[in-house]
Structure 1
Amino acid sequence: MIKGEWSNIFKVAFLYMATVIGAGFASGQEIIQFFSKYYSGGFFGILLAGILFSIIGYVVLDRVYCERIKTYDEFLFPMMGYFLGRLMEFVVMLFMSCVMSVMVAGLANILVELSGLEFRYCVVISAIACLLAIMTNIKGIVTLSSFLSPFLVAGILFVGVYILVTKDTSVFSLSDKVVRVTDNWVFSAMLYVSYNTILSTVMLTSVLPYLKTRRVSTWSGIMGGGMLCLTVFILNLALSFFYPHSITAEMPLLSILQNNNKLLGNIYSIILLLAMYTSAITSGYCLTERIQTKLNLNYKLVAAVLCALVIPMSSIGFSSLISTLYPVFGYFGLFLVFVILLQFIRSRLVNKT
């Protein structure tokens, strides 16, 4: 590989991961809802999700590189057509606004615990912090995610290994009241990939400046999907020790640590804070870019208005969002995943002929 290729590969791969590793992921809620509740089937679901993430990342980035795609519209409409493209665009923007609102609320909740300030002040602080990052545009987002994502992955993996080593299930309250997202681990894994694909596709269509060669586009998608698979696998293995019952806390991994080791619990609070921040700014950037492109408005003005509107919107429950709203968007995202996979199959057939 030529000089600088690996640097760009890691930047894009970590950006890909940053759009998926949100608060639900880092807290363990998503892992429980979509994988852990299927016992051994959950591990097969994780493998399936990892393969799909890698394929989707590869296909999207390969198209971005080969067709010199600079915007989400250039990716979406030729693939879906005008009517379905408009429908998917509405779904994408609605999903991004929901994610950003909830992540800002999550940020505020943790800031309340760490600082003791009132919730409303913490919401304002969180929104301003997101605004400052979004103002830096795609270069700032990529730089920030490439800096934060390694810390997130390392922290999450450490927590997973720590739980595996201690295996002390007596420190946690167990219950079997959590309802499964679906009755099938295959479909559950598909839903998990599909709603994450809604946001990650928007972000990946913005990284053309970093795709200097086709190798960068290829390996960025594959590496991002592979690292996601490994991280989810370790977390699910750790959480599996708390079954056959389901964990009902809002943030399972944090609750386990706080009941077992206060210091690690406080440290992981910071990791969750970073996870929520990366989710908020990636979704916020994508939404700002979409609105600015569509309405031809000033980017910074759109970002400021959006962050201001998020403040009163940040009141949706955390686990309820993951168990109800995420699967709903997952059903919409299935069509996007299907079309992307169809593109992958077609490209393989063309290469063979």
Structure 2
Amino acid sequence: MIKGEISNIFKVAFLYMATVIGAGFASGQEIIQFFSKYYNGGFYGALLTGVLFSIIGYAILDRVYSERIKSYDEFLFPMMGYFLGRIMEFIVMLFMSCVLSVMVAGLGSILMELTGIEYRYCVVISAIVCLLAIMTNIKGIVAVSSFLSPFLVVGILFVGIYMIVTKDTSVFSLSNKVVRVTNNWVFSSLLYVSYNTILSTVMLTSVLPYLKTKRVSTWGGILGGGMLCLTVLILNFALYFFYPKSITSEMPVLSILQNNNQLLGNIYSVILILAMYTSAITSGYCLSERIAAKMNINYRIVAVVMCALVIPMSSMGFSSLIATLYPVFGYLGLFLVFVILLQFIKCKLTKA
């Protein structure tokens, strides 16, 4: 591989990761809900998740490269048809709006705790900061995610390993509030992959300029999925030691760290901010781009309006979104995952 290929592989892989590693992931809330609550099954679920992320990432990018796809429309409608495509498009846009509003609200909450500024002003500041990145279009999003994602991965892995090594659970009280997303770790993992595929599909269909060779499209998806698998495994392993003790916190990882190491807890607050920021700008970009393309309106105007609408919508809860809305979108997104994999297998069999 030449140097440019390796660089683009990592850019695409980190962009893929940036759409998945949001605040729910970094806080541990998603890991708790979809993996840790299943005890040993959570580890098998993490492995299954990594395999599926790699396959789906490879399948999407392979088609984007082979058919020179430049937009989500070019990817979705030939695969699903007009009627089902419209339904899925509505689901995608609804999910992205939920993610954007909740992440901005989360950023506002953390900013308020760090600065003491009134919450509503913190939300406005957060929305403006997100808007600045969204306005840069896909190149700016790739640049931001390529820069921030390595810090997120390293930070999460370090904290996960630290929790595994120290694992002092004596400071926590038992909690009986244990509610599982499903009764089966396999289906829980499928739902997790499913709702994350909704957003990542939109983002990955925009990266054709970086798919200079087939190797980039192949390894970008596989590497992204592999790194996601590693981070899920480490974080789930760490949280497993504390389950089911005090994991009903909105941000389990941060709660554990603050009880064990205040300094590390403060540092991880920064990691959470980065996670929320990457999640907010990727969902905000995808949503603005979709609306602009459909309504034939200037992209930047749409971005400004969307970020303005997020401010009054920011009263939505954080953990409630993950525990309630995310599984719903997981069920809705299962059809998208099925069609992507079916189309991929069909294409490979035809070429063979």
Shared fold (TM-score, shorter chain, > 0.5) = yes
Q: CA RMSD in A?
A: 0.9
1:347 CA displacement:
2.8
In the alignment, what sits opposite 1:194? Answer: 194
Partner Cα distance (2:64, 2:2) in 1: 20
Partner Cα distance (1:246, 1:254) in 2: 12
Q: Which whole-Å deviations, capped at 9, do the CAs of 1:274-297 have from their partners, x for residues lacking one?
A: 000000000000000000100110
In the alignment, what sits opposite 1:63? Answer: 63
In the alignment, what sits opposite 1:303? Answer: 303
Q: Which has the larger displacement, 236-245 or 139-148?
A: 236-245
Partner Cα distance (2:350, 2:71) in 1: 25
Asked if the contact 1:174/1:242 (under 8 Å) is kept, the reply is no
Q: Which whole-Å deviations, capped at 9, do the CAs of 1:254-312 have from their partners, x for residues lacking one?
A: 00000111100000000000000000000000000000100110111111011000000
In the alignment, what sits opposite 1:285? Answer: 285
SS in 2 for 1:242: coil
SS in 2 for 1:4: helix
Q: Does 1:183 align with 2:183?
A: yes
In the alignment, what sits opposite 2:11? Answer: 11
In the alignment, what sits opposite 2:112? Answer: 112
- Number of aligned pairs? 352
Partner Cα distance (2:171, 2:73) in 1: 50
TM-score (norm 1): 0.98
1:245 CA displacement:
4.8
1:170 CA displacement:
1.2
Partner Cα distance (2:271, 2:299) in 1: 29
Asked if the contact 1:24/1:30 (under 8 Å) is kept, the reply is yes
1:178 CA displacement:
2.5
1:176 CA displacement:
2.6
Asked if the contact 1:23/1:276 (under 8 Å) is kept, the reply is yes
Query: Partner amino acid for 1:224?
Result: G
1:348 CA displacement:
3.2
1:3 CA displacement:
3.2
In the alignment, what sits opposite 2:156? Answer: 156
Asked if the contact 2:50/2:226 (under 8 Å) is kept, the reply is yes
Query: Partner amino acid for 1:340?
Result: I
TM-score (norm 2): 0.99
In the alignment, what sits opposite 1:77? Answer: 77
Q: Does 1:237 align with 2:232?
A: no
Partner Cα distance (1:344, 1:70) in 2: 18
In the alignment, what sits opposite 1:217? Answer: 217
Q: Which whole-Å deviations, capped at 9, do the CAs of 1:46-79 have from their partners, x for residues lacking one?
A: 1111111000000100111010100100000000
Q: Which whole-Å deviations, capped at 9, do the CAs of 1:240-261 have from their partners, x for residues lacking one?
A: 1012556110000000000111
Asked if the contact 2:172/2:246 (under 8 Å) is kept, the reply is no
In the alignment, what sits opposite 1:320? Answer: 320
SS in 2 for 1:266: helix
Asked if the contact 1:174/1:248 (under 8 Å) is kept, the reply is no
Segments of structure 1 that go 5 or more residues without pairing to the other structure are none
**Runs of 4+ in structure 1 over 4 Å off:** none
Partner Cα distance (2:178, 2:282) in 1: 29
In the alignment, what sits opposite 1:249? Answer: 249
Partner Cα distance (2:313, 2:280) in 1: 13
Asked if the contact 1:60/1:205 (under 8 Å) is kept, the reply is yes
In the alignment, what sits opposite 1:165? Answer: 165
In the alignment, what sits opposite 2:128? Answer: 128
